[in-house]
Amino acid sequence: MANLDRIFHALSDPTRRAVVERLRQGTASVTELAEPFGMALPSFMKHLGVLEKAGLMDSEKRGRMRQCRLSDGALAPISAWMADQRALWEDRTERLAELVENKELDR
């Protein structure tokens, strides 16, 4: 559950969500990722650190450039959690519908 908390924390920021969306298209350098945001590179690197700590992205240094990519299965914990939540709420909704139908039949 702690990893899920880190993922949701990382995705709570619009800059980090935009980085994840960009990385869904493929590998990019830190410079490419930072370009649209107009912030100082040290500030942007903090965002990348949060994404790496959450397990959403990986980076490696190639020559003088740091390349970033979306981690394999990065969003799988969210998908699993959402599926569990969906099943839970569908079950509750079905039980509520049955209760309402039974109450109407009793009238």
2 or 4: whose pLDDT is higher?
4
C-alpha–C-alpha distance, residues 50 and 48, integer Å: 5
Closest Cα partner for 4 from 69, 58, 75? 75
Query: Residue 95 has what pLDDT?
Result: 84
Q: What is the CATH number of the domain that holds 56?
A: 1.10.10.10
Q: For the chain, what is the domain count?
A: 2
Q: Could you read off the pLDDT of 68-87 as tens digits, one per residue?
A: 999 998 888 888 899 988 98
Per-residue pLDDT band for 1 (boundaries 50, 70, 90) equals low
Q: Are residues 34 and 61 in the same domain?
A: yes
Q: Are residues 60 and 93 in the same domain?
A: no
Q: Are residues 96 and 58 in the same domain?
A: no
Q: Is the dihedral of CA 32, 33, 37, 40 positive or negative?
A: negative
Q: Are residues 67 and 100 in the same domain?
A: no
Q: Among 14-18, 35-39, 102-106, where is mean pLDDT lowest?
A: 102-106
Q: Are residues 14 and 46 in the same domain?
A: yes
Per-residue pLDDT band for 97 (boundaries 50, 70, 90) equals confident
Domain coverage including residue 33: 1-72
